[in-house]
Amino acid sequence: MTYKPAHIELRDITHAYQTEAGPLPVLDHLSIKMEEGSFTAVVGPSGCGKSTLTRLIAGLMRPDEGQVWLGGKMVTSPRPTVGMAFQNPVLLEWRTILRNVMLPLEIVGKRMSRTAQEDRARELLSLVGLEGFEDKRPSELSGGMRQRASLCRAIVHRPEVLILDEPFGALDAFTREDLWQTMARLRLEEKFTAVLITHDLRESVFLADNVVVLSGRPATSQFVLPNTLPTNRTLEDLYSQPATDMLAILRHQIQVAQGRAPADDAKATA
């Protein structure tokens, strides 16, 4: 299995959930483009529709209006070539770490030999610093280590798209920064198109090529910030002037999205 990182295009998406209280509009004419192999962070107010967006990209749901395109094909059903990781790593306790990571290969990698599947899982575990933990059970690992394993499981089958829905949100600050560095390393070695949902603006600036700010619900793409930091960044770069400037712009945009600042001042159109 080889990587074919997909170009992702969300075209004019509008969606509402049908609830007992009536329709709840969640996305409103939302359009976003993501290049092959790019890393896009999506930030926005809580409850604005970020997780809904990930379900649409993965094909787990279809929008009321508009289309999702992955690698030139319209998404109409769940895609096996999408990898996902969430805030809660949901590893299976009755499987070892190695066999948890191998799980997607057992489903979509049937043409790989068992040995090749195992080698692939071991290669990734070693890349994220989990060499020696292959035979442990999830409960024997720390939260940060479980999340590392969950990242390996999300990309073991070389998905065209990697969707990360607040995967570092439950970790303490130091562990989180370690995981950012792990994620950056994975990205150098592996070729996926990544979509990261986060509410941590520093995380978005450390990891992403572009940061998309969603408006409040129903969400549309309010602002897109191209990252000006060097590609091979370090945590120190987060304290540089360009990073400080980007964080100020993003913080302002979040306030606009929350309705706490007017949209029509200089920064909103920067």
Q: How far is the C-alpha of 90 from the C-alpha of 77, rounded, in Å?
A: 23
Buried b (16+ CB within 10 A) or exposed e, 47-71: ebbbebbbbbbbbebebeebebbbb
| 67 touches Mg ion by CB under 5 A | no
210-214 vs 65-70, strand pairing mode: unpaired
Gyration radius (Cα) of the chain, Å? 19
Stretch that binds Mg ion, among 45-53, 151-159, 198-206, 261-269 (CB under 5 A): 45-53
- What's the min distance (Å) between Cβ of 107 and ligand ADP? 25
**96 or 258: CB nearest ligand ADP:** 258
**14 or 51: CB nearest ligand ADP:** 51
Stretch that binds Mg ion, among 37-45, 48-56, 125-133, 224-232 (CB under 5 A): 48-56
Q: For residue 5, say if its preceding peptide bond is cis, omega within 30 degrees of 0.
A: no
What is the number of the residue whose Cβ is closest to Mg ion? 51
**224 or 235: CB nearest ligand ADP:** 224
Residues that bind ligand ADP in the complex, under the rule CB under 6 A: 17, 19, 24, 26, 46-52, 217
**25 or 37: CB nearest ligand ADP:** 25
- What's the min distance (Å) between Cβ of 44 and ligand ADP? 6
Stretch that binds Mg ion, among 49-57, 126-134, 180-188, 211-219 (CB under 5 A): 49-57
DSSP assignment letter at 58: T
- What's the min distance (Å) between Cβ of 68 and ligand ADP? 15
172: buried, middle or exposed (CB in 10 Å: 19+, 13-18, 0-12)?
exposed
Which whole-number Å values give the CA distances from 48 to 88, 162, 200, 216, in the listed order? Answer: 20, 21, 15, 5
**For residue 48, what are its two tokens?**
């604005």
| 87 touches Mg ion by CB under 5 A | no
- What's the min distance (Å) between Cβ of 26 and ligand ADP? 5
| 51 touches Mg ion by CB under 5 A | yes
**202 or 217: CB nearest ligand ADP:** 217
- List, as one string, the DSSP characters of 116-174: HHHHHHHHHHHHTT-TT-TTS-GGGS-HHHHHHHHHHHHHTT--SEEEEESTTTTS-HH
From 29, 84, 96, select the one nearest 57 (Cα to Cα).
84
Sequence length of the chain is 270
DSSP assignment letter at 266: G
**51 or 67: CB nearest Mg ion:** 51
Q: How far is the C-alpha of 25 from the C-alpha of 222, rounded, in Å?
A: 16
- What's the min distance (Å) between Cβ of 214 and ligand ADP? 8
- What's the min distance (Å) between Cβ of 71 and ligand ADP? 24
- What's the min distance (Å) between Cβ of 162 and ligand ADP? 17
**15 or 233: CB nearest Mg ion:** 15
Q: Which residues bind Mg ion (CB under 5 A)?
A: 50-51
